[in-house]
Amino acid sequence: MRGYQLTFFTQQSHRHHHRSLAEWLLLTARDLGIGGATVIPASEGYGHHRRIHAARFFEFADQPQEVVMAVSEEECTRLFERLERERVHLVYVKVPVEYGVLGVPED
């Protein structure tokens, strides 16, 4: 299949509808029928304000997170329409990819 790999960048402390933004995005993707998404915690990073965000012993709320998913063009359109309606502020990367599934699923 051809589509896009979407990577969204956020922090553990960023919230939307009383959930972490990463969790809200994961659940929203699932509700929209997107086949899978992964939340990846990062140890450090910085954003457009050039301030370092890091997962330190006392600062886990500042931990950077990525949410990654492979989507069809139609799924991408539905997801971005939902993000616009919800007025979610997110940095993202959208890369054209070929994706699929190999092998036989485990029972």
Q: Please count the structural domains in the chain.
A: 1
CATH code of the domain covering residue 68 = 3.30.70.120
Tell me whether residue 10 is in a domain. yes
- What confidence tier does 14 reach under pLDDT thresholds 50, 70, 90? confident
Within a domain: 12: yes
Range of the domain at 60: 2-98
- Cα separation of 29 and 6, whole Å? 11
Flag whether 11 is in a domain. Answer: yes
Share of the chain above pLDDT 90, in %: 70
Would residue 92 count as lying in a domain?
Answer: yes
> Encoding tokens for residue 59?
């600062």
Going by their DSSP bridges, the two strands 91-98 and 38-41 should be labelled as: unpaired
pLDDT tens per residue across span 46-59: 666 666 656 555 55
Is 51 among the domain residues? yes
Does residue 29 lie in a domain region?
A: yes
Domain membership flag for residue 105: no
The predicted-structure confidence for 27-49, as pLDDT tens digits, reads as follows: 999 999 999 999 998 766 666 66
Residue 71 falls within a domain, yes or no?
A: yes
Contacts of 64 (CB under 8 A, 6+ apart): 9, 10, 11, 12, 41, 42, 43, 44, 45, 53, 54, 55
